[in-house]
Every structure is written in structure tokens, then in C-alpha cells.
Amino acid sequence: MRCDSVPLADATATDALYMERCLQLAEQARGHTSPNPLVGCVIVAAQRIIGEGFHPKAGEPHAEVFALRSVATGDRPLLTDATLYVNLEPCNHYGRTPPCTEAIIAAGIPRVVVGMIDPDPRVAGSGIERLRAAGIAVTVGVCEAACQRLNEAFVHRVRNARPFGILKYAMTLDGKIASSAGHSTWISGEAARAMVHQLRAECDAIIVGGNTVRRDNPHLTSRHPHTPLRVVMSRHLDLPLDAYLWQTDAAPTLVVTTAPADHPLVPHLQACGVEVVCRPVLTPTTLMKELYNRGIMTVLWECGGSLAAAAIAEGMVQKIWAFIAPKIIGGTSAPVPVADLGLQKMSEALCLEEVTWQTVGQDILVSGYLPKSAAP
Ligand SMILES: Nc1nc(O)c(N)c(N[C@@H]2O[C@H](COP(=O)(O)O)[C@@H](O)[C@H]2O)n1
Ligand SMILES: [Zn+2]
């Protein structure tokens, strides 16, 4: 990860390099920390790294504690002349773990370099204040943009009390996600599919609608060790008895519905190990709230066009991953990735921000962020 840091008056020439190492360390836990952030920490003294660590999982010690623990006994006297680098402000509260500020102060570290302020209201600048009150020199904002980007899902979840939503789809060059007959395997090539499996491993949940289960009968698994929760949003519970989702226990599965709890499919799904939740109202917003309450941080929408349009309209999608395959299927009734958004003029189109594109095998991946103003 490269970070182009804005020059700061109190930063040294090497601060950005060590912050980049923090980002690399933090990245190792991607997909495993929810609802906690990705955090890496490096301790430097005598122009060398004497300790480093990252936060592996919620409930485990924070990155700073792992880094402090990793300092060899022979290097411990160097701590009183060391700089501690961390991409997120050290915490200052008793959560699942004690405050890192106390551990840093107790170690006698004289300087701390922080990538970004923690948006968690339990911290929100108080960690930096506590360190400064203890006489520690604190530099804030080294590689800030890269630090914010690394924890975009954590920041979004804390600020908005809902998970970060990514809409992923694969479409043909003429903008179709299936043929008019509903056939959709495979639009993109193997390289793109491998990338999707990686993306799934980095998310906490994948959402599909009942239509996708009926038409595509997906597995929604990942080739990687971490497999996200598979979530089916089905108002009427008109789902097939023999869908792959309930036949394999490769990943936990949750069905959320407005059907009554005594619907005949409920005991069948439960016998297959599927959790069924019946709610009076079911929209992308209520579902995301439900997932937020379960500690979920990043959600992948792998749904059809109608649900995608509803999720976008309700502000439940922040980022788009669109794979475009160099194929043409045609067909006026062939489904499209996003159904009606009620927009009439091209000037009303949602223009993605920070757009990037890359070739993936024979396909092109275009990704970007929906404008924040698009959310209600
Ligand atoms: N600076 C820092 N380093 C880490 O490694 C972290 N995991 C955090 N997390 C902050 O603390 C909150 C979680 O606290 P518990 O793990 O429950 O004790 C999290 O919301 C962040 O604010 N910070
Ligand atoms: Zn902490």
C-alpha cells in the first residue's frame, strides 16, 4: 500500500514509510476483525523496527498491545526512546479489551504517530488527548487518506449505524446480467470469478433476493477460508425446497422474511441449519439494520436488478464493482444490473466518484463510489 502523505510540520521524513508498514500489517486481518477496524502498529527505535503487530479479531488484544508484546527483552530499554506508529488513534476506553493508551504510557514511549482519529465515539480524539496529557508527543494525520481508505467500512459503520454496502455484478458489453431466457452462467471469466471469491472472503455477509435463489440457485461460498454469512431476503418465502444454499453447510445462512413464523417452509429451512427471521417490515434498510446489530461491517449485494435498485435508492450501497465481459447477448427483456431508479434525465444519473478500472483476464472491472448525496 502506497501512501502519499500531506507534509505535516511535526512529521519526520521516515514517518510515512513506517505508517505504510502499519497498513500492510493491518491488511493481513482483512475480513476477520468486524466490527473492529483494521489496525497495524510498528515500534521504531535506533532506526530499526523493534516491535510490530496487528489486530487479528474482535475480542483479541489491539495492534498496539501485540506490537508492545513483540519487543524482545533485550530491546525493552529502547522503548523510552522509541516512536510508536499506528494507523488508528489508540483507544482510551474499556471495551472488550483495556485502553491501549495506558499500555503505551506504561511502556514509557515518548512519541506516537497516528494515521487518523478514531470515529468511534468512545475514542474520538480522547486517546490522543490522553497521550498528550501524559507528556507524549503525538503526530496525527500521517498517510491519513490511505488510513481512511483502509478502514472505510469501519468508519461508515460507526458514523451511520449500518454496514458498508458493495454492489457487485457481472454484465455483458450490452449491459445484461442474463439472457432473455434467464441464463447467466458464466458472464465473466475465471479470473473475475477468482476475484469475486477473494472479495467475498473480505466481506461479512452476501445478500441475495428470492429471485436470485430461484433463478440462479447460487452457492455463495468462497474458495478462501473465510466464508461470509449468506443472507436471503425473501418477503413471501416462496423459495425452492432444494436450493444449494440449504443443501450445503459450507457457510451459515440467514433467511429474512415478512412471512409468518408458522409458514410451512420455516421448519424445513431450520432442519437444514438455516436461521429464519420473520419481521413485519423488510426493506434493504431494515435488513442492513438487522445485520448491523449482528456486528456486520461489510456487506456484498450480489442480487438482481430490482433489489439492487432498491438498495441504491435507500442509500444501502456505497461502492460498485462492475465486471464487464466483452460479449453481447442482446434481448430487450434480458435483465439489467440495476432496475428502475425513477431517474428521467441523464443529468440525474448517479455519477461514480474515485472511479478505477482494470482488466481482469478478458473482462474489465470498473469500481467506484456512489455519491454520498445519492443516499437519502
Ligand atoms: N487503535 C486501535 N487499535 C486496534 O487494534 C483496535 N482494534 C482499535 N479499536 C478501537 O476500539 C474499539 C473496539 O474496542 P474493543 O476491541 O471492543 O476493546 C473499536 O471500535 C475501535 O474504536 N483501535
Ligand atoms: Zn486499543
User: In the prediction, which pLDDT does 280 show?
Assistant: 97
| CATH at residue 132 | 3.40.140.10
Contact 87, 27 (CB under 8 A): no
Is residue 117 domain-shared with residue 202, that is, in the same domain? no
Cα–Cα distances (Å) from 54 to 29, 64, 352, in that order, read: 8, 7, 32
3-class SS of residue 64: helix
User: Is the domain of 103 the same as that of 170?
Assistant: no
* 83-121 tens-digit pLDDT: 999 999 999 999 999 999 999 999 999 999 999 999 999
User: CA 46 to CA 232: how far, in whole Å?
Assistant: 54
Active-site entry in 64, 144, 314, 348: 64
pLDDT at 221: 86
Q: Are residues 143 and 286 in the same domain?
A: no
Domain with 27, as residue range(s), is 13-157
Cell numbers that stand for 41 in this block: 502498529
Ligand 1 atom with least separation from CA of 88: 1
Domain CATH number, residue 364: 3.40.430.10
My answer on whether 166 and 141 are in the same domain is no
Which protein residues are within 6 Å of ligand 1, measured from CB?
36-37, 39, 55, 58, 62-64, 86, 88-91, 95-97, 100, 118, 120, 123
Supply 90's cell numbers. 489508540
Q: Which ligand is nearest to the CA of 123?
A: 1
Check: CB of residue 163 under 8 Å from CB of residue 157.
yes
How many percent of the chain have pLDDT more than 90? 89
pLDDT at 7: 72
Task: Give the mean pLDDT of the chain.
Answer: 95
Averaged pLDDT, 44-67? 97
Residue ranges near ligand 2 (ion) with Cβ within 5 Å: 62, 91, 100
Asked, as a colleague might, if the bond just before 321 is cis with ω within 30 of 0, I would say no
Task: Among 157, 187, 204, identify where a domain stops.
Answer: 157
Do 193 and 337 have their domain in common?
yes
> What is residue 52's three-state secondary structure?
strand
Phi, psi of 157, deg, nearest 5: -65, -45
pLDDT for residue 47: 93
Annotated binding residue at 209? no
Q: How many Å lie between the centroid of ligand 2 and the Cα of residue 99?
A: 5
265 is a domain residue: yes
Q: Is residue 244 part of a domain?
A: yes
Residues 35, 130 within the same domain: yes
Q: Is residue 92 part of a domain?
A: yes
224 known ligand binder: no
Q: What is the pLDDT of residue 6?
A: 65
pLDDT at position 226: 84
Position 5 in a domain:
no
Nearest of 251, 201, 197, 252 to residue 226 by alpha carbon: 201
Q: Which of 110, 134, 157 is the last residue of a domain?
A: 157
What band does 5 get if pLDDT is binned at 50, 70 and 90? low
304 assigned binding-site residue: yes
How would residue 3 be classed by pLDDT, with cut points 50, 70 and 90?
Answer: low
- Is 107 annotated in some ligand binding site? no
Asked whether residue 100 falls in the same domain as residue 193, the answer is no
* Domain final residue, candidates 111, 127, 157: 157
Please tell me the total count of domains within the chain. 2
Q: How far is the CA of 278 from the centre of ligand 1 (A)?
A: 33
ipTM of the complex: 0.98
Q: Which atom of ligand 1 is nearest to the CA of 90?
A: 1
360-373: per-residue pLDDT in tens?
999 999 999 999 86
> Does 215 lie in the same domain as 68?
no
The alpha carbon of 35 and the centre of ligand 2 are apart by a number of angstroms equal to 14
Could you read off the pLDDT of 248-267 as tens digits, one per residue? 778 899 999 999 999 999 99
The phi and psi torsions of 58 (rounded to 5 degrees) equal -60, 135
- In this prediction the pTM is 0.94
The verdict on whether 290 is a catalytic residue reads no
pLDDT attached to residue 9: 81
Distance separating alpha carbons of residues 228 and 151, to the nearest angstrom: 18
- The type of residue at 294 is R
Do the domain assignments include residue 277?
yes
pLDDT 10s digits, 308-361: 999 999 999 999 999 999 999 999 999 999 999 999 999 999 999 999 999 999
Q: Both 93 and 203 in a single domain?
A: no
Residue 100 CA to ligand 2 center (angstroms) comes to 4
pLDDT at residue 4 in the model: 61
Testing ligand 1's pocket by substitution, the residue of 32, 33, 34, 36 carrying the most ligand atoms inside 8 A of its CB is 36
Q: Which atom of ligand 1 is nearest to the CA of 123?
A: 22
Q: Quote the cell numbers at residue 278.
A: 420473520
- Same domain as 313, residue 339: yes
Q: Is residue 4 part of a domain?
A: no
The confidence band for 2, taking pLDDT boundaries of 50, 70 and 90, is: low
- Across the range 139-157, mean pLDDT stands at 97
Answer whether residue 187 is part of any domain: yes
Nearest ligand to the CA atom of 124: 1
Average pLDDT of the segment spanning 170-177 = 97
Structural domain contains residue 299: yes
Is residue 374 pLDDT above 70, yes or no? no
Query: Cβ(165)–Cβ(296) under 8 Å?
Result: no
Pair 143, 187 in one domain:
no
Same domain assignment for residues 108 and 235? no
